Structure 1
């Protein structure tokens, strides 16, 4: 079964004012990001449709070792590029993905999920979706090729796909990139920020991950409380730190929001780390996987991992507690098991030592820090809303 990728890069880029395909993005270009997402997602090959400033685009494509297809009718609109690209697909095509070059933030994990889904259970069309909102790139069965080639262009490719909606399905993914069009300079500025942060989920993507993992609502509220506390603690430590690296606030927030994402599963820490790594969120997967206990060399600087660990141990649900209170229930539960008690007391001692170390470096008690007006209790909806960037995308 062969699945190919089509990148449509023939447009005029009139609203951007510059050629979109060659704009720098994430250590490459907008075009190379599109190609890399498709290839890393499992497509057999990629064909790039060119038109406006074809030589510049083709030069970039050839650097990447991909194929170009020139569309002489590019001024007639995007569907003419779809036609050109579809005609160039090899005879062994089983399905293909259509990705406009101005959708460069799609994660390769999303493409991989689409290709796996089609191979496991073919459909006329499989759309990537974010909270059921469809985005790009749709994966289209080769069965639709004759109809696409015969279409007169009215309503574009969408019109053809709409006729097959009964044979289509959505694949929900925690990927805001499927919805982000790169049309204006403002869109490009947002894309630059987004691309730098692709190794961890944005707050809205965290919400999507909770849905996909069926994380209980009470656990979500705990994660939000921990995230707010972790951010406050990280900010205080950064302000006090004179040597050593500053903590990445985005990683702290993201890892804290996700630390219990797999709570309903046995060994939820490891399962959560594996889940996140599978979606490509490798920037926080190890933090989530190790938040049950902590072992850090006394000479090593505190990192985002230790902050998330400590913030988690300071909350029972959404209620601020002491570390002794947090471990107290487990000590009571395993009171008749000497081996279990020894292990729990060991984790308690390490947590208390780490807390002391944090407070010494930050120059403030966490009990004071987390009950100060600056950290005044904030309801969960407000916390997530303040950190929501979907409107920018």
Structure 2
């Protein structure tokens, strides 16, 4: 199956007050860690979507082998970033895996399990021991639905709407932390001091 991995890293980090993509994690910027995971997955193409602090991120993060797209409208929410990233997906892709640029604890094995359960006509979500979470799969037949979303929670509203079939993929782990606040970052460092 042809799959594009999309790393969503366009946020403006308003709650942190500085670019969270560049927070230190295991000796390098956090987005570097996420992109290493994405490169370790069996994706045919990796796309990273940037917006807030794009110039700083491009100067500090290793973007080798990754297609970079810019979303100047990043302040309107994640949905606009997804739409821009879809434009850069492999045209043969049977689906995309959405990964968060502020969630470095996702394992390639989790992505592999998600892709194994995927089909072009479904959405898929990871069912961790403590709840549902990213990464997410959206098959090609759902791309049009993705392009109609608005705001930050659009993908979750789509998954919960009943409009598309959704597969839950059991993952024997806790939901990996994503970083939106300084408390989140301290929790991430406490869980994985690296």
Is this a same-fold pair by TM over 0.5?
yes
Match of 2:75 in 1: 75
Q: Is the 8 A contact 2:93 2:140 kept in 1?
A: yes
CA change 1:165–1:34 in 2 (3 A) is: farther
- CA distance, structure 1, for counterparts of residue 187 and residue 131 of structure 2: 20
- CA distance, structure 1, for counterparts of residue 90 and residue 174 of structure 2: 31
Match of 1:201 in 2: none
- CA distance, structure 2, for counterparts of residue 38 and residue 24 of structure 1: 18
Q: Is the 8 A contact 1:107 1:177 kept in 2?
A: no
Match of 2:23 in 1: 23
Q: Is the 8 A contact 2:123 2:138 kept in 1?
A: yes
Match of 1:10 in 2: 10
Return the match for 1:139 from 137, 143, 163: 137
Q: Deviation digits for residues 85-129 of structure 1, max 9, x if unmatched?
A: 1122121111111122222211221112112232xx665012111
Q: Deviation digits for residues 234-291 of structure 1, max 9, x if unmatched?
A: xxxxxxxxxxxxxxxxxxxxxxxxxxxxxxxxxxxxxxxxxxxxxxxxxxxxxxxxxx
Query: Is 1:184 aligned to residue 181 of structure 2?
Result: yes
3-state SS of 1:96 partner: strand
Match of 1:85 in 2: 85
TM-score (norm 2): 0.88
Query: Is 1:103 aligned to residue 103 of structure 2?
Result: yes
- CA distance, structure 2, for counterparts of residue 166 and residue 75 of structure 1: 27
Q: Deviation digits for residues 47-78 of structure 1, max 9, x if unmatched?
A: 11111111112234554431210111111111
More strand by share: 2
RMSD, aligned CA: 2.2
Q: Deviation digits for residues 197-224 of structure 1, max 9, x if unmatched?
A: 7xxxxxxxxxxxxxxxxxxxxxxxxxxx
3-state SS of 2:94 partner: strand
TM-score (norm 1): 0.45
More helix by share: 1
- CA distance, structure 1, for counterparts of residue 156 and residue 110 of structure 2: 20
| 1:54-65 correspondence runs (5 A) | 54-65=54-65
| 1:222-301 correspondence runs (5 A) | none
